[in-house]
Amino acid sequence: MPHLGADVAAYVDGQLSGSAAREAVAHLETCDACEKAVRQQRLLKSRMSTVATPEPPAALLASLAGLAADPPARESWWVRLGRSLPLRAGVVVVTASLAVVATAYAVGGSGRPGDEVQPPFNQYTADFDAPVASFDTASGDTVITAAAMDDLSEYGWACHDTLAGDLHRVSGAYTGADEVISLVYTDGSSRLNLYEQTGVLAPSTLDGFRSETMAGSRVWVRPGSPMVVTWDDDGTVFTIVTDVDHQRVERAVAELPTDSDEQGLGERVGDGLTRMSSWVGAA
The confidence score (pLDDT) of residue 137 equals: 47
Q: How far apart are CA 153 and CA 181, in angstroms?
A: 11
pLDDT digits (tens, 9 = 90+) for 6-41: 788 888 888 888 888 888 888 888 887 787 778 877
| CA of residue 152 relative to chain centroid, distance | 12
What pLDDT is attached to residue 102?
A: 55
Q: Is 224 left (phi over 0), alpha (psi -120 to 50) or beta?
A: left
pLDDT at 245: 94
Neighbour count for residue 29 (Cβ, 10 Å) = 8
Long-range contacts of 162-168 (CB under 8 A, 24+ apart): 163/192, 163/194, 163/251, 163/252, 163/255, 163/256, 164/192, 164/244, 164/248, 164/249, 164/251, 164/252, 164/255, 165/248, 165/251, 167/192, 167/244, 167/248, 167/252
- Predicted confidence (pLDDT) per residue in 162-180, tens digit: 999 999 999 999 887 668 9
- 138 against 175, higher pLDDT: 175
Q: Which residue has better confidence, 153 or 55?
A: 153
Q: How far is CA 174 from the centre of its chain?
A: 17
pLDDT digits (tens, 9 = 90+) for 184-195: 999 999 999 999
Q: Which has the higher per-residue pLDDT, 107 or 121? A: 121
State the Cα–Cα distance between residues 171 and 269, nearest whole angstrom: 38
Q: Which residues pair with 186 in a beta bridge?
A: 168, 191
Q: Say yes or no to pLDDT of 141 above 60.
A: yes
Give per-residue pLDDT as tens, 109-123: 444 556 888 999 999
Cis geometry, peptide bond prior to residue 56 (ω within 30 degrees of 0) = no
For the chain, percent of residues with pLDDT exceeding 70: 62
Domains of the chain: 6-50 (no CATH), 116-260+268-281 (3.40.1000)
pLDDT band at 205 (very low <50, low <70, confident <90, very high): very high
pLDDT at 235: 87
Q: In sequence order, which residues have a C-beta less than 8 Å from that of residue 47 and are 6 or more positions away?
A: 155, 156, 157, 198, 235, 236
pLDDT attached to residue 283: 41
**74 has pLDDT over 80:** no
